[in-house]
Chain A
Amino acid sequence: MHRKIALAAVAAASAVVLAACGGSGGGSSSSSAAGGQGDCPGADAFCIGLVTDTGKVDDKSFNQSAWEGALEAASATGGYAKYVETVDPKDYENNINQFIQAQYDVIVTVGFLMGEASIAAAKANPNVQFIGVDQFQGEEIPNLTGLVFPEDKAGYAAGYLAGLMTKTGKIGAVLGTDTVPPVKLFGEGYKAGALAANPSVEVTLVYHAPDNAFNDPEWGAAEAKKQLAQGADIIFGAGGNTGNGALIEIAKAPGAGESIFCIGVDTDQFFTVPQAATCLLTSAEKKLTLGTRTLIEQAQAGTRKGGNYFGLTGLAPYHDTEAAVPDDVKAKVAEVIAGLDAGTIMTNVTL
């Protein structure tokens, strides 16, 4: 008995520690030159540093879109781009400092949670330009621009489409934590849009607990399954890997792409989560890559301003589910997106 217990205990300990360490993705090495990617060769070159939030640079969501924007900007400006991935949120400052010490010109910090570290670094280093992706700036700091998006508009458009498309009259959403405002704006915008399209639709929103909110695909999958079992036929997944877990689960459901659909978030997830392509109706897109690229180019040109820069939102193409969406629905949704952009349609979402 002892031996078995000891073996079990050691196995349990190993499993716990390994689980705590988290998965290690196969990201590309930042030293291998590809496009404008590589080490900063010196003070004369235009160098772009990017610090990810806790998560990998190939997370198929936020970090990845911002990194792609940095790469595009690097090739457009003839500069160099490099990233550091954050493992422990206590290291935000240290990771930003790696780039400051190496005299990078622009430092992109990705994610809402890095907001305070970015502000502190920007204040301490007035000669370095900072771009805070998804970081709303309450106070204007000249060398820091927050790249923010009207997520409620993107969510509203997705919800409007879902409200028109649902057959069961029930739709759902599996979301990262509601303590992060952009996530809540997506969720509440989705609900408002769905109700605008169809006042009798039943919308279920479920938010993850704050801890590990964006990297819990198992939870996302389980919640998606639950909502499907309750009769939801369209589910919006928004929250990094947690949302991706929901999308992938829905793609496995019988009728996926015919009577069951999923909606992605942030980027066109047809490309970033191909496993979900069969059910993916569209994605509530933040044009993150474009926004990051634009701000970096502005930084190089000297036209970047402090405060907030509002990026564009929209819905990604329908791709494989194109045929399943009636033409009149497409027309109505396009009309709503135009109205949102023009400001003639208000989402009326407040936090």
Chain B
Amino acid sequence: MSTTDPARTDLGFTDPDPRRGGPLDRLPAIVIPVVSVLLAFAIGGILIWLQGVNPFQAYYVLFSNALGTTEGLLRVMQKSTPLILTGLAVTVGLRAGLFNIGAQGQLLVAALGTAWAGYNFQMPMVLHIPVALVFGMLCGAAWASIAGALRAYRSVSEVITTIMLNSIAIALVDYLASEPFKEPDQPLTRTPEIAPTAMLPTFGIVPSGFLIAIVVAIVFGWLLSRTTQGFRFNTVGLNPSAARYAGISVKGTILLAMAVSGALAGMGGAIETLGVTGRFEPAFNAGLGFDGITIALLARANPIATIPAAILIGTLRSGAAALQFQTGIEPEVVDVILAITLLLVSAPIVARLLFRKRNIKQTQVTQGWGS
């Protein structure tokens, strides 16, 4: 384990060999998230039942509205897209031993940057979409790199800096969207609409952004498990000291991982702007980055698993309005279910640390927080 970096946050996602270790590790990786989700639905069902509604009927309404109609499916895909990407952003961080809580801030900065590139540039569609997308991703990467650099060079915990950068990002985009980038001659805080050449197309009922997100998740599944760079991420995440001894630049890997994480969160914001909202309006991006944390933990930091995790959350969020319309259950029940899921998938992490690391002596005089 690391004894040289006090800012390191070990969440138990960095062990490449799950066969070693305590009793929890012998379970297949899929058991804990599935059990967590089922338990959360059961607890949510009790809450629904306490409000006088049959929980089975309520869940049927929620899922049939979200998945049983064309508009519902489109909404599910639209809502899942940024969630896959913010989930991936948090996942990439976790694999390199970084807990990026700042996906929300990175997404906001990127969504605004994308909108700016979307309405400011005049170019043909084949260029405009990739340019706006990459511009947004660079904004997200740059924002995350502030936390990455502070972590790599000053050993400042990224948990703290990314949380603080979220607040700064909210204030920054509010200012930019209400002053210099504001759509003129109307009262709302928002940018002008992006050019039609920057709008992401929809194939039938499938938004192209959704396809992009799936491809990116698969690519990252391959990158993290089959490439040298992925090995560097995993090694630094697992044991920075060993990584350094093996000749891997720990600082460089931390910087890169944070930038990639920010770029992925940024891509979520960029696709949201180019494919759904068509402009930047601060309230339209609320919560997407925070859901990414739930998704990454639910997916056990497995890039491919972020796809079903994000679709599950997208489905819940999409069906919430129909749930209230048809049963009177308040839409916030979805947040309750997600919060319970998050607690349950987090609990094994804690349990694992308690089982496995109890006997490790801590000898270092620490400089960081939490000691």
Q: Which residues of A contact B (CB under 8 A)?
A: 1-10, 12-14, 16-18, 20-22, 24-25, 27, 29-32, 54, 56, 82, 84-91, 94-95, 97-99, 102, 113, 177, 179-181, 209-212, 351
Contact = CB atoms under 8 A, between A and B. Distances in A.
Contacts of A90: 276-277, 284
A16 B339 CA distance: 10
Given A4-B371, A5-B9, A20-B286, A31 B294 contact: no
B163 A113 contact: no
Interface residues of B, number: 72
Interface string B65-91: 000000100010000000000000000
B290 A17 contact: yes
B225 interface: no
A21 B52 contact: no
Contacts of A84: 321, 324-325
Contacts of A2: 1, 8, 10, 353, 357, 360
Nearest to B343: A14
Contacts of A20: 104, 286-287, 290
A344 B286 CA distance: 46
B6 to A, nearest CB: 7
B189 interface: yes
B321 A211 contact: no
Contacts of B336: 21, 24
B237 to A, nearest CB: 13
Contacts of B338: 17, 21
A116 B201 CA distance: 23
B101 to A, nearest CB: 6
Given A17-B342, A90-B277, A179 B10 contact: no
Given A2-B10, A17-B339, A180 B332 contact: no
A113 B281 CA distance: 11
Interface in B312-349: 317, 320-322, 324-325, 327-333, 335-336, 338-339, 342-343, 346, 349
B229 interface: no
Nearest to B320: A87
Nearest to B166: A16
A54 to B, nearest CB: 7
B35 interface: no
A1 B325 CA distance: 49
Given A6-B10, A90-B276, A16 B353 contact: no
Contacts of B320: 87
A12 B322 contact: no
B5 to A, nearest CB: 11
16 contacts: A1-B366, A1-B370, A2-B360, A6-B10, A6-B12, A6-B350, A14-B343, A16-B290, A18-B339, A21-B287, A22-B332, A24-B330, A85-B324, A89-B283, A211-B283, A351-B187
Given A87-B320, A113-B188, A4 B101 contact: no
Nearest to A212: B283
Given A20-B286, A21-B338, A88-B317, A179 B11 contact: no
Contacts of B325: 30, 82, 84, 95, 98-99, 102
**Most-contacted residue by chain B among A7, A13, A94, A97 (CB, 10 A):** A13
Given A5-B370, A16-B101, A98-B325, A209 B350 contact: no
A210 B370 contact: no
B227 interface: no
Contacts of B187: 179-181, 351
B99 interface: yes
A306 B283 CA distance: 29
Interface string B262-293: 00000000000000110001111011001101
A16 B293 contact: yes
Given A1-B366, A54-B283, A90-B284, A29 B321 contact: no
B170 interface: yes
A32 B174 contact: no
Q: Which 4 pairs, one residue from A and one from B, show the smallest C-beta to C-beta distance?
A: A21-B335, A31-B328, A29-B328, A24-B332
A9 B9 contact: yes
Contact of B101 (A12, A91, A351): A12
Contacts of A8: 159, 369-370
Contacts of A1: 6, 362, 364, 366, 368, 370-371
B205 interface: no
Nearest to A20: B290
A98 B331 CA distance: 14
Contacts of A180: 187
B64 interface: no
B189 A179 contact: yes
B51 interface: yes
Interface string B45-71: 000000111000000000000000001
A105 to B, nearest CB: 16
Contact of B163 (A12, A24, A29, A91): A12
A332 B149 CA distance: 64
B161 interface: no
Contacts of A18: 335, 339
B197 interface: no
Contact of B159 (A9, A56, A102): A9
B241 interface: no
A312 B218 CA distance: 59
B321 to A, nearest CB: 5
A27 B329 CA distance: 10
B275 to A, nearest CB: 12
Interface in B1-50: 1, 6, 8-12
A47 B232 CA distance: 62
Contacts of B354: 3
Nearest to B322: A98
